[in-house]
Amino acid sequence: MLKRNWMVAAAALLVFSAPLAAQDEPPPEGWRGTGELGYVRTTGNTETSSLNMALEFIYEKEKWRHTLGGSALRSKKSGTLDAERWTVRGQSDYKFSEKSYLFASFRHDSDTFAGYDPVTSISAGYGRTLVDNGRHYLLGEIGAGYRRQEIANTGETENGAIARGRLDYRWTITETTEFGNLFLIEAGSDNTFMQNDTSLSVAINKAFAVKLAYQVRYNTDPPLGSDDTDTQFTTNLVYNF
């Protein structure tokens, strides 16, 4: 019931929110991207170290937009590895109107300490810019695809069709400060995966920024012995190129 209600709401949002969008300058063609890096180390009564990084490349040319990105996290506590995760994702969009496009995407996720490791999904569908008025930006996607996930402690695999949705919201608070929230859902018969990334970025100059981010990852049906929710808070230096 939850999945069905969510899909209906998302479809309605994509169809009926078009009047809210305002015209804005199109993004520049060619390559652009961002790189992020964060490191934390504590010593004394508690010894911990944590390294996280992320990269994203975007190429736009006429009606096409291609995105390739990845992220990695590695953490140790008292010399023992307690977190290791990396993700690779990609997407190609074909823009058939000013605000609408068709997409094909993939995601590969490897998390040593998660119940599912690894997880690979591919999907295709429809996307639309719902709001773009220079201060607020909202993009929505809805589609379907296929997912393969391996249960870490048994080696068994689960394969099946998924429904996929994504919402990308950004709020330009000031000329140097931006709030963002990115929500992803992959709903299947065996498990529904949801990930929400909330961030606040403050620009230092045109090239560099400081970014605070909070990520929540949730599985409705995790394997036995695994938690259903993982969270991550990061403080990163961002380089825009």
pLDDT digits (tens, 9 = 90+) for 46-95: 688 999 999 999 999 999 999 999 999 999 988 888 889 999 999 999 99
- With beta carbons less than 8 A apart as the criterion, state whether 233 and 214 touch: yes
| pLDDT at residue number 83 | 84
| pLDDT at residue number 20 | 42
Give which of 123, 77, 82 is closest to 102, Cα–Cα: 123
| pLDDT at residue number 26 | 61
Summarize pLDDT for 20-33 with one digit per residue, the tens: 444 445 667 899 99
Domains and CATH numbers, the chain: 2-24+32-240 (2.40.160.40)
Residue 107 has pLDDT above 50, yes or no: yes
Give which of 166, 72, 159 is closest to 116, Cα–Cα: 159
Q: What percent of the chain has pLDDT over 90?
A: 76
- With beta carbons less than 8 A apart as the criterion, state whether 38 and 52 touch: yes
Report the predicted TM-score, pTM, of the whole model to 2 decimal places: 0.86
Distance CA 211, CA 36 (A): 9
DSSP state at residue 29: S
Residue 45 has pLDDT above 70, yes or no: no
Q: What percent of the chain has pLDDT over 70?
A: 88
| pLDDT at residue number 201 | 98
Residue 7 has pLDDT above 50, yes or no: no
Q: Determine what percent of the chain falls in helix, strand and coil, rounding each to the nearest 5.
A: 5, 70, 25
Summarize pLDDT for 163-203 with one digit per residue, the tens: 999 999 999 999 999 999 999 999 999 999 999 999 999 99
| pLDDT at residue number 153 | 85
Q: Which amino acid is at 73?
A: L
| pLDDT at residue number 204 | 98
Contacts 24+ apart (CB under 8 A), 206-214: 206/240, 207/239, 207/240, 207/241, 208/237, 208/238, 208/239, 208/240, 209/237, 209/238, 209/240, 210/235, 210/236, 210/237, 210/238, 211/36, 211/235, 211/236, 211/237, 211/238
